[in-house]
């Protein structure tokens, strides 16, 4: 509090909260949007928080959802604060003008972390830079891992996604008091946050809550239900308990996290394996989100989508997996073919287009295109509403990381000076690139156009790399065209390939999806 400015106090639907002034923004942290999801509410849809009397202090981040820590290999690149406590369904608001008359655009941020890690307290996600530029910024925590995305016969699916919907409804009802316009809400996310944002935009229950959406490095697709069931069944086998929500609710929380981390350690976008994800549930997610969005869902919602040039490097470089994939050579390419359900013509095409690429780069780009770029292309192609597409191509100063997954976040948030941003970017990240990336997001949130031409048959992609941003038409079209060939049936694959795939699965290097 300064001598001439008192701490801001705002009344929410459940009670008043007191924030803080920080760099000309009013900041409110740890506001509950739903009740603690434990006890009888564990594995159940969120319910409203208990109203409170008086003024609740909102000066510090609230508890984070239960999650295992990153492995040592990943922790050197990614930060993931842990704040204990049960009241983990909370959100934060940064606003430049906490008055109902301001009617400012709003950005609601969903963090990434494979739906198993991450939180709104990650320092890179400081919403002050958006507030500085006239945007009310909201970030939130939601249930993760088996608590948020386990699939059980005795509990509704997707409780973590239902948490996010509850937060969106809170924003719709409460954000005007913080200076935001509930009719100008952009929902944005990266990686798992982007997958979630796409599912919510497509959800009939979220209609009218979102005007625009940003999907960074995450396609709006549902996860195969059996993939999630296998994750739960393997945890149940390790715990020696039935694969039901009732049984899992009786397990010690820390033990549940340790078993989840151990079972999931071999899962990755490259290796496949069991994992948690948003599933079609016939209710909140009545159909695959990508099919819904290309079939007319969410009319009037504009999209900004993007990826990084070398997404795969965050999946392969930590722990030395990149070198192991290079050593495997043909075996790794065979594994990628099985992972992507394609025939040998696809890796052959990639090697023709990029003759100097080694096996790891070929495998990484194949998996990235199959899982991420191809569905985002399909999304932009299949909608009448304006879509804008970009690629982040600036290489990290950290050895071997390139323009990897999550590197762009420090530039989107203009938080490159944060030590946590430098963990991934290294020292010397260019400020002009932050200005360009952050400015594009602010323009899109504010008026619906990030500053370059909308997607059309020429496939314009804005490239943010070294030097000034530039628009390139169809930079990934040749690679993505390789996927249009009919899928090779398993019995049509050569015997030596089938043998390699069986060997990879026996050793655990490749899991059935």
pLDDT in tens, 340-376: 888 889 999 999 999 999 999 999 999 999 999 999 9
Q: Report d(CA 388, CA 196) in Å as an integer.
A: 19
Task: Tell me how many helices (H) and strands (E) the chain has.
Answer: 20, 14
Contacts of residue 446, defined as CB under 8 A and 6 or more positions apart, other chains included, come to 105, 134, 135
* C-beta atoms surrounding 71 within 10 Å: 12
Contact yes or no for 243/232 (Cβ under 8 A): yes
The reported pLDDT for the residue numbered 495 is 43
Tokens of 201: 């935009």
CATH fold group of domain 1-299: Rossmann fold (3.40.50)
CA neighbor of 278 nearest in space, from 221, 329, 235: 221
pLDDT of 320 reads: 86
pLDDT at position 341: 85
Where are the alpha helices (H) located in 59-158, listed in sequence order? Answer: 72-75, 128-132, 145-149
Q: What is the pLDDT of residue 418?
A: 86
CA gap 283, 151 in Å, rounded:
14
Q: Are 271 and 371 in contact (CB under 8 A)?
A: no
Residue-level pLDDT at 485: 57
- Residues of the chain under the 50 pLDDT cut: 1-3, 486-513
For tokens 């070294």, what's the residue?
466
The pLDDT, as a whole number, for residue 334 is 81
Q: 202: helix, coil or strand?
A: helix
CA distance 466 to 457: 27
Query: 419: which residues sit within 8 A by CB, 6+ positions away?
Result: 123
How far is the CA of 171 from the CAs of 12, 183, 303, 317, in angstroms? 10, 10, 20, 38
Can you give the pLDDT at residue 464? 98
Helix axes 192-202, 159-174, angle to 10 degrees: 70
Give the per-residue pLDDT at 489. Answer: 42
Q: Which of 311, 361, 391, 479 is catalytic?
A: 311
Of the residues 119, 191, 268, 396, only one is catalytic, namely 191
Q: pLDDT value at position 484?
A: 83
Is 405 a residue of the active site? yes
> What Cα–Cα distance (Å) separates residue 40 from each residue in 45, 257, 260?
11, 19, 22
Instruction: Identify the pLDDT of residue 324.
Output: 84
Active site residue 191: yes
Could you say which of 405, 415, 434, 479 is catalytic? 405
Confidence (pLDDT) at 497? 40
């Amino acid at each position: 509090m300064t001598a001439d400015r008192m701490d801001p106090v705002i009344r929410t639907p459940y009670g008043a909260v007191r924030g803080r002034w920080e760099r000309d923004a009013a900041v409110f942290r740890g506001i509950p949007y739903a009740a603690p999801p434990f006890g009888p509410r564990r594995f159940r849809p969120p319910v409203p928080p208990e109203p409170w009397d008086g003024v609740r202090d909102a000066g510090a981040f609230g508890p984070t959802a239960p999650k295992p820590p990153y492995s040592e290999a990943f922790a050197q690149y990614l930060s993931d604060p842990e704040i204990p406590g049960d009241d983990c369904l909370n959100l934060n608001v940064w606003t430049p003008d906490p008055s109902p008359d301001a009617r400012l655009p709003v950005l609601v941020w969903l963090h990434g972390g494979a739906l198993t890690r991450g939180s709104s307290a990650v320092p890179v996600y400081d919403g002050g830079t958006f507030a500085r530029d006239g945007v009310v910024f909201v970030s939130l925590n939601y249930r993760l891992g088996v608590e948020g995305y386990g699939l059980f016969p005795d509990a509704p699916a997707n409780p973590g996604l239902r948490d996010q919907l509850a937060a969106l409804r809170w924003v719709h009802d409460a954000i005007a008091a913080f200076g935001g316009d509930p009719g100008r809400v952009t929902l944005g996310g990266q990686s798992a946050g982007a997958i979630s944002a796409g599912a919510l935009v497509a959800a009939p229950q979220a209609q009218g809550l979102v005007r625009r959406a940003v999907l960074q490095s995450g396609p709006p697709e549902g996860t195969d239900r059996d993939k999630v069931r296998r994750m739960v069944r393997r945890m149940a086998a390790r715990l020696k308990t039935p694969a039901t929500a009732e049984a899992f609710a009786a397990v010690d929380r820390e033990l549940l996290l340790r078993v989840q981390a151990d079972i999931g350690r071999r899962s990755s976008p490259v290796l496949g394996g069991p994992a948690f994800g948003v599933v079609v549930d016939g209710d909140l997610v009545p159909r695959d989100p990508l099919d819904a969005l290309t079939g007319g869902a969410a009319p009037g919602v504009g999209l900004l989508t993007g990826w990084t040039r070398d997404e795969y490097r965050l999946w392969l470089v930590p722990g030395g997996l990149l070198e192991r994939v290079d050593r495997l050579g043909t075996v790794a390419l065979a594994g990628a073919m099985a992972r992507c359900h394609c025939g040998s013509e696809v890796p052959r095409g990639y090697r023709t287009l990029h003759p100097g690429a080694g096996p790891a780069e070929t495998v990484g780009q194949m998996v990235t295109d199959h899982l991420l770029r191809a569905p985002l292309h399909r999304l932009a192609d299949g909608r009448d509403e304006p879509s804008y597409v970009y690629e982040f191509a600036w290489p990290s100063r950290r050895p071997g990381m390139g323009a990897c997954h999550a590197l762009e976040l420090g530039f989107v948030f203009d938080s490159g000076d944060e030590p946590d941003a430098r963990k991934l970017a290294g020292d010397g990240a260019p400020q002009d690139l932050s200005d360009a990336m952050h400015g594009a997001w602010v323009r899109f949130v504010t008026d619906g156009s990030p500053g370059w031409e909308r997607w059309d048959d020429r496939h314009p992609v804005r490239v943010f790399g070294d030097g000034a941003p530039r628009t390139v038409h169809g930079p990934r079209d040749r690679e993505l065209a390789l996927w249009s060939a009919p899928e090779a049936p398993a019995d049509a694959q050569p015997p030596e390939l089938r043998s390699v795939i069986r060997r990879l699965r026996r050793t655990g290097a490749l899991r059935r999806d």
